[in-house]
Chains A and B, each alone.
Chain A
Amino acid sequence: MTSSTISRIRQSQIAQLITSGKRLDGRGLMDYRPIQIETGIIEKAEGSARVRLGKTEVMVGIKIEIGEPFSDRPDEGVLTTNAEFVPLASPEFEAGPPGEDSVELARVVDRGIRESKAIDLEKLCIIPGKKVFIVFIDIYVLNHDGNLIDASALAALAALTNTKIFKYEVKDGEVEIKSGFEKLPLVNFPVAVTLADIGGRLVVDPWLDEEEVMNARLTISFDKDGKICAMQKGGSGTLSPQQIIEAVKIAKEKSEELRRLVVKEG
């Protein structure tokens, strides 16, 4: 939905520049903003990371608790993802129950992690049908300057790579927590790449002002083997089938670039 937070003059300026292959902030159409990743910044969380994507800033904290499995997956751990648009992150954000944008953000990030089977959930089973580890991924948006999906997915992945689980022992059907930690069984590394269509041309990593102008966006998540594991079109415009096929090619290349920032050996 086009909101009126930026002037029409600026909107048309952004759109016109893009038709001539340039962007208002000086980037090329296929360039990401500078990315900074820090991990292990919250000691009380089992895993954490902060990602800065230009001025967009997202923190992800991971908490691990013992709970019950879902009845249809008795021998698997549970993954839940939540996103909070903290009111300090933008004049547009308000305190209160999650809106549709934060629900969408959480679900798209979740889909990438879940469908790529990034976490080996079977290894998180403690007592089948009774006790499993629950992995809570909490996305905390600290400064909103566009492309929250890619920043959040990257922060979630970075946080998962440094997540530790406490050691335990099962005695007479009871779980006893021991000292020391193990690494979370992370076996895949999904990365999300978002492209926006502005005036019929595709750009990667739209910032906030570009999101105001775009027709539509398309997020594509790739796993470490170059398979697509999640997709989400957003925005109230449309894309042509040709644009979608082109977007897949661009996103595959970009996803490898982004993954190298988090996974050094990959």
Chain B
Amino acid sequence: MTKEVRLVNKKGIRTDGRKPDELRPIKLEVGILSNADGSAYIEQGKNKILAAVYGPREVHPRHLALPDKALLRCRYHMAPFSVQERKSPAPSRREVELSKVIREALEPAIFLERFPRTSIDLFIEVLQADGGTRVAGITVASLALADAGLPMRDLVAACAAGKADGYIVLDLNDIEDKEGTADVPVAYMPSLNAVGLLQMDGQLTPEEFEQAFNLAIEGCKRIYELQKQALKAKYLAIKEAVEEAEEK
């Protein structure tokens, strides 16, 4: 396109006032939907995303059941009102692909072999999209899985890095995602040093890729700490409520 957008100014500050290696403000909540076995909510920048887990439960249709482990199913979906121009609620090809790669990022975290012949159904609903919804979706889904009490090898933290106006930047927002040079979403399990999701689009030299990839891992580690806090906060609140009740 002919229209040039300035994504990073001369002082190295981005359109939303961040430094290149800074995350957007993140708010995480755990256990917010009463019907689901596990649920969580994330706000990252203007992203607003809900995740819910049902299961382990009986598989429907039955022939999909696996004899040696649970079947993890994942649906990433964007609400029609989540973007500027209304998105048709029917699943797009993008959503089909993202559902697959998100599932593949989370599968290695769960001890699926403990629940043969069952299904674990994960639903991610993007209520408002602001760039980086797949990674924010993984971050919040991982909390929902933990909230469902599923035994996990680690929490999965996810974050993107990329290139905008010549800078390697962390956690791309909507316009950096659209107008930037490259986007590298990564999902990572810090305790296992294992990468479960890695994609890239745009143009990067191998050296730039390594820089962006390392920055994304760094972002994942910071998000991981926030995830642990959010998970603890839920149980702390319960503990306080119990103690209060006991005092009465």
Contacts and interface: CB of A to CB of B under 8 A. Distances in A.
Interface string A225-243: 0111111111111111100
Interface of B: 1, 93-94, 96-97, 99-101, 103-104, 107-108, 184, 189, 192-206, 209-210, 213-214, 217
A228 B203 contact: yes
A100 B96 contact: yes
Given A116-B203, A227-B203, A103 B198 contact: no
A252 B205 CA distance: 10
7 contacts: A100-B96, A101-B100, A229-B201, A230-B200, A234-B104, A236-B108, A239-B195
Nearest to A236: B107
A232 B99 contact: no
Given A103-B97, A107-B97, A238 B192 contact: yes
Interface of A: 73, 100-101, 103-104, 106-107, 111, 114-116, 216, 218, 220, 223, 226-241, 244-245, 248-249, 252
Q: Which 10 A-B pairs have the closest CB atoms?
A: A231-B200, A238-B194, A236-B107, A233-B198, A100-B100, A103-B96, A227-B203, A115-B201, A238-B108, A236-B104
Nearest to A76: B1
B184 A240 contact: no
Given A106-B93, A111-B201, A241-B213, 15 more contacts: A107-B93, A107-B97, A115-B203, A216-B104, A228-B204, A229-B200, A231-B200, A232-B199, A238-B108, A238-B189, A239-B194, A241-B193, A241-B214, A244-B198, A252-B206
Nearest to B108: A238
Nearest to B94: A107
Contacts of B197: 233
A238 B108 CA distance: 7
A241 B217 CA distance: 9
Contacts of A237: 108
Contacts of B93: 103, 106-107
A181 B204 CA distance: 35
Contacts of A238: 108, 189, 192, 194-196
A233 B198 CA distance: 5
B97 to A, nearest CB: 5
Contacts, number: 96
A216 B187 CA distance: 14
A233 B104 contact: yes
A233 B158 CA distance: 14
A73 B195 contact: no
Nearest to A220: B200
B214 to A, nearest CB: 8
Nearest to A235: B104
A5 B97 CA distance: 24
A240 B194 CA distance: 5
Given A104-B97, A236-B108, A241-B193, A228 B199 contact: no
A223 B204 CA distance: 10
B108 A241 contact: no
Nearest to B99: A100
B209 A228 contact: yes
A236 B197 CA distance: 9
B19 to A, nearest CB: 23
A116 B181 CA distance: 11
A231 B184 contact: yes
A233 B213 contact: no
B243 to A, nearest CB: 40
B1 A73 contact: yes
Contacts of B204: 227-228
* Most chain B CB atoms below 10 A, which of A230, A237, A241: A241
B39 to A, nearest CB: 23
A125 B234 CA distance: 56
B244 to A, nearest CB: 42
A228 B183 CA distance: 11
